[in-house]
Structures are given as structure tokens and as C-alpha cells.
Amino acid sequence: MVFKSLQEDIASIRSRDPAAHSTLEVILCYPGLHALIFYRIAHWCWGNGLRVLGRFISHLAKIFTGIEIHPGATIGRRFFIDHGTGVVIGETAIIGDDVTLYHGVTLGGTSLHKGKRHPTLEDGVIVGSGAQVLGPITVAQGARIGANAVVLTDVPPGVTMVGIPARVVMRKPKPGEAAFCAYGLADEDMPDPVARAIDSLRGQVETLLARVAELEADKDQAPRAASPAPAQEDAEPPQAVAGL
């Protein structure tokens, strides 16, 4: 069972990362796989009452891989952490099958109570590098979280979220479209709502500056056009007063 699970994990990495050229390369060089193996052992210890041992194993995993997975987290099949450094997965996080995380992702809690306080990621979710998914929220099946997004509310299935706080910027993919999308972004030219707002403001500022320049030019020309021509002195010069 363990060997079959490891085979699935390796196959999923090779299918989602074109840089993985062989099974041996994945086994030797992928910290995401190493962290997952450590997690499976630590999770077994946690579930069988050996909680301190489970935490210690997860601590060793963090030292060796740069990835911190709490042994109490629940992780499904074919989980892939690409690159991996800086990933943090909290105690009550739940991760479904075929989920992909990139480096710098945090699945964090926002409260101090002992209940569910970390996110749930359903099957097929992709979370881009540096994204923060915080609180006991649900990221529904097939959703994509763009790089550096901060997600604080539930995410509908199949949509793409970007920004701070994250907002929907892309519809649910149609049947036949690519199921996997690196870093959670389907297209490098995908519109970002923050970028759109900045572009709109830049356009308005440019329009205002052009209008101000026109008004200043009109103001400079107006006095010259309105000023009367100097009067011609037709009268003869005054005669000198006799005797003076």
C-alpha cells in the first residue's frame, strides 16, 4: 500500500512538472516528495497517539526540506509540492486528491481555538507561489489561486482567484480545456483586477494632463488676442509757448 502510494506520488510529479525527466531524479531531487514521505510517517504517529514523535519527525522534515507540514493535517493522494521552500500547512488543514502547491504557500489559521481553523482544499486545487489561504475556508474543487494572492473567503469550484484580497478573475474552465495550470494561472496575459484599475487610473491621469496643457495654452494666447492695438497719435505736437 505504501509502495503503491509512493508510485502514484512520483507519477503525479512527472505528469505535472516537465522538468522531471526520470523517476530516479524525482526520488533524489524533489523536496516536495521527501516532505510528503516524512509527513506520511509523522501522520501515522500522530494518529496512533505518538504525537510528540510525530511533531519531531515533521520538525526534521522542515529542517531537511524547508517544508513544514503539521502531522495532524489530512492530505489526500497524488499531492505535489513543487519547489517547496517556505510551504506551511497547518494542523487542521484538509487537502484532497491531485492538489498542487508551489513554494511559499501558507495554509494558515486565523484563530486560537482548538477546532477547525485551517483551510480545506478540495480535489484538483492549484495554489500558486507565495499565496496565503487563511482560516477555516473551503477552496472548492478545481479552483486555482494565483501567485501571491491572499484568500480569506470560500472559493467557488473551478474559478481563478488573484489579488489582495483575492477576487475571481477567470471563469470556470470549459470541458476539454487543460486541467492543470502551472502556478494557478492559465495565461500570462490573464487580466488582473488590480492591474486593470492601475491602467484605468493611468489613462485618466494622462487625459487630465493633456486637458490641463490645452487650457494653459489657451490662457497664454487669450491676452495677446484681446489686447487692443496701440492708438495712432494723429494730433500735431503742441506748439511751444511763446516767450518760454
Whether residues 93 and 202 share a domain: the answer is: no
The average confidence (pLDDT) of the chain is 84
Task: Confirm whether 74 is domain-assigned.
Answer: yes
pLDDT category at 183 given cuts 50, 70, 90 is low
Whether residues 27 and 39 share a domain: the answer is: yes
Whether residues 209 and 109 share a domain: the answer is: no
Task: Confirm whether 239 is domain-assigned.
Answer: no
Whether residues 128 and 196 share a domain: the answer is: no
CATH number at residue 129: 2.160.10.10
Task: Confirm whether 109 is domain-assigned.
Answer: yes
Whether residues 24 and 95 share a domain: the answer is: yes
Angle 13-179-141 from CA coordinates, rounded to 5°: 95
Last residue of a domain, which of 163, 188, 213?
Answer: 188
Separation between Cα atoms, residue 47 and residue 98, nearest integer Å: 23
Whether residues 46 and 142 share a domain: the answer is: yes
Whether residues 179 and 94 share a domain: the answer is: yes
Domain count, the chain: 2
Task: Confirm whether 240 is domain-assigned.
Answer: no
Whether residues 148 and 213 share a domain: the answer is: no
- Considering 77-91, 173-187, 197-211, the range whose residues carry the highest mean pLDDT is 77-91
Task: Confirm whether 229 is domain-assigned.
Answer: no
Range of the domain at 207: 191-221
Contact call for residues 75 and 9 (beta carbons, < 8 A): no
Position 8 scores a pLDDT of: 87
Separation between Cα atoms, residue 7 and residue 130, nearest integer Å: 28
Whether residues 176 and 200 share a domain: the answer is: no
Whether residues 159 and 60 share a domain: the answer is: yes
Cα Rg, the chain, nearest whole Å: 33
Angle 165-168-173 from CA coordinates, rounded to 5°: 145
Whether residues 111 and 202 share a domain: the answer is: no
Task: Confirm whether 53 is domain-assigned.
Answer: yes
Task: Confirm whether 217 is domain-assigned.
Answer: yes
Position 50 scores a pLDDT of: 95
pLDDT digits (tens, 9 = 90+) for 60-115: 999 999 999 999 999 999 999 998 899 999 999 999 999 999 999 999 998 888 88
Task: Confirm whether 234 is domain-assigned.
Answer: no
Whether residues 201 and 140 share a domain: the answer is: no
Comparing 124-128, 170-174, 238-242, the range with the smallest average pLDDT is 238-242
Position 4 scores a pLDDT of: 76
